[in-house]
Amino acid sequence: MKKVIRQDPMYRFLVVLTVASAIGLQGWRTLFNNFAVELAGLNGSQVGIIQSVREIPGFLALLAVYVLLIMREHRLSALSILVLGVGVGITGLLPTMGGLVITTLIMSFGFHYYETTNQSLTLQYFDQETAPVVFGRQRSYAAATNIIVGMAIFGLASFLTYKAMYLLMGILLCGLGLWGFAQKPDRHNLPLQRRQMVLRRRYGLYYLLTFLAGARRQIFMAFAVFLMVKRFDFSVQEITLLFVVNNGINYYVSPLIGKAIVRYGERRVLSMEYASMVLIFLAYALVQSKWMVAALYILDHIFFNFSIAIRTYFQKVSDPRDIAPSMAVGFTINHIAAVVLPALGGMLWMVDYRIPFVGGAVLAFLSLLCVQLIRLPAKSA
């Protein structure tokens, strides 16, 4: 099966663009908190606002359905990487609150629209036994890319400015986006995707799990690294080293998660994720050790990869023609709370930094309850 997957043009296309997406997001995230604090002089509330702005394009992901009326889906994937490159490249040129709002929006439109099309194309082109493995491998390649990006930033941060590092990443991403436009990985023997927004009652549990996952994840995205920088005084080199270690672990773990979904089913895998996340978020609120918070960050990333199972659950209960529009709608649902929670969390942070993390534990517990409602045939449960 490995050889068959690797020979698929769509697999190669998605791997290359997933690597590009990982370069953009990891590079932006690695530098962002230190850039925001050291050069832009932002506080916790302002960082929360920017993180909320970062999620607006995810909230608007359903508009991808209408873009697909005039553009094939793999072309939109390539365009998204090009936009991501532009956003990342100009970030260092505008070290102000207003500048970061603008560059974050551009970068985020590229990232989120690529993620939407990537999920859709993976579920369309690979069957129920293969899709979890492909998702796992994409996460693995992304982790390996993150290591390379982290090592590069770790070495370059001593003698290159933030402006230069952001610009170099932007140029590389634009090149990979242009490469994507030159490829023709699509096939014409697949079910035609509906060209309008799709909302169905039978997908209700998928929508709910997606909403809760988005809300919980954004608390982590907005405040876990900020906690390290603001409260535990992590330097940019220490943050980068943590990212390298974290991704080294996930490079090996991610493919195993895909195989675990195939073997044990979505309900068991997601139950393990959510039960663990309750404990991890509570620990974020209580931990006093610099190295313990770093360990929590790594564990958080490992269990986050289990969320692949939400998408493979949808693949098993959906009409194949609903995949593209449903991934776009799912991304919007995922970001409904995400647009509000980082800004709200930033305000709560100013009262007590532990409050956002306790809220994350509550959301994880609600997810644990909801996932027990998954009902699939014994073969795929």
Which tens digits make up the pLDDT trace of 177-230? 999 999 888 877 777 777 777 888 889 999 999 999 888 887 887 788 888 888
Express as a percent the part of the chain with pLDDT over 90: 33
Which tens digits make up the pLDDT trace of 274-288? 999 999 999 998 988
- In terms of CATH, what superfamily is 2-371? MFS general substrate transporter like domains (1.20.1250.20)
Per-residue pLDDT for 330 more than 60? yes
- Identify the pLDDT of residue 377: 57
Which tens digits make up the pLDDT trace of 354-378? 888 999 899 999 999 999 998 875 5
Which tens digits make up the pLDDT trace of 21-42? 999 998 998 888 788 888 877 7
Mean pLDDT of the chain: 86
- 46: Cα within 13 Å, side-chain hemisphere: 14
- Rounded Cα distance, 300 and 288, in Å: 17
Structural tokens at position 170: 């932007």
Which tens digits make up the pLDDT trace of 107-149? 999 999 999 999 999 988 888 888 888 988 999 999 899 888 8
- Identify the pLDDT of residue 380: 46
Query: Which of 210 and 244 is assigned the larger pLDDT?
Result: 210
Structural domain boundaries of the chain? 2-371
Which tens digits make up the pLDDT trace of 294-308? 999 999 888 888 888
- Identify the pLDDT of residue 75: 93
